């Protein structure tokens, strides 16, 4: 079976079809589907590790202070719109305007856990 190391995707730059980069993979979201854990979407943002820091309000506040956190830069891209078969170079499989549809709105759901 074809497998891939998800950890190699962390922080990788994602390339769109026309060769431009739209940001780094910040997080990989997975949901339970029956007794399988399946990947549902990828969060691609300007700032690679932001999702890891965002769990803590002070982390967010600190990053806001340094204006490093540009939320509108975050894309939440469904699993089938990114080709991760080659972890070193994840590629976007959707068109430009489709991509803007995945742009995270301002009211990102609070990461509850």
Residues that bind another protein (CB under 8 A): 1-8, 10-13, 24, 26-33, 35-40, 47-49, 51-53, 55-59, 62, 68, 79-80, 84-85, 88, 111, 113
Query: Whose structure tokens read 């982390």?
Result: 59
- The CA-based dihedral angle spanning residues 22, 109, 64, 89, taken in that order and rounded to the nearest 10 degrees: -20
> And the tokens for 82?
């990114």
Minimum CB separation from another protein for residue 109, in Å? 12
Minimum CB separation from another protein for residue 56, in Å? 4
Minimum CB separation from another protein for residue 28, in Å? 4
> And the tokens for 12?
């990788």
């Amino acid at each position: 079976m074809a497998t891939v190391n998800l950890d190699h995707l962390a922080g990788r730059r994602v390339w769109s079809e026309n060769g431009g980069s739209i940001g780094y993979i910040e997080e990989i979201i997975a949901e339970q589907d029956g007794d399988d854990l399946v990947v549902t979407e990828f969060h691609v943002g300007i700032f690679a590790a932001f999702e890891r820091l965002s769990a803590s309000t002070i982390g967010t506040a600190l990053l806001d202070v340094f204006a490093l956190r540009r939320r509108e830069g975050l894309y939440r891209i469904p699993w089938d719109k990114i080709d991760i078969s080659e972890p070193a170079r994840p590629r976007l499989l959707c068109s430009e305007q489709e991509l803007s549809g995945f742009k995270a709105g301002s009211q990102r759901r609070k990461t509850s856990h």
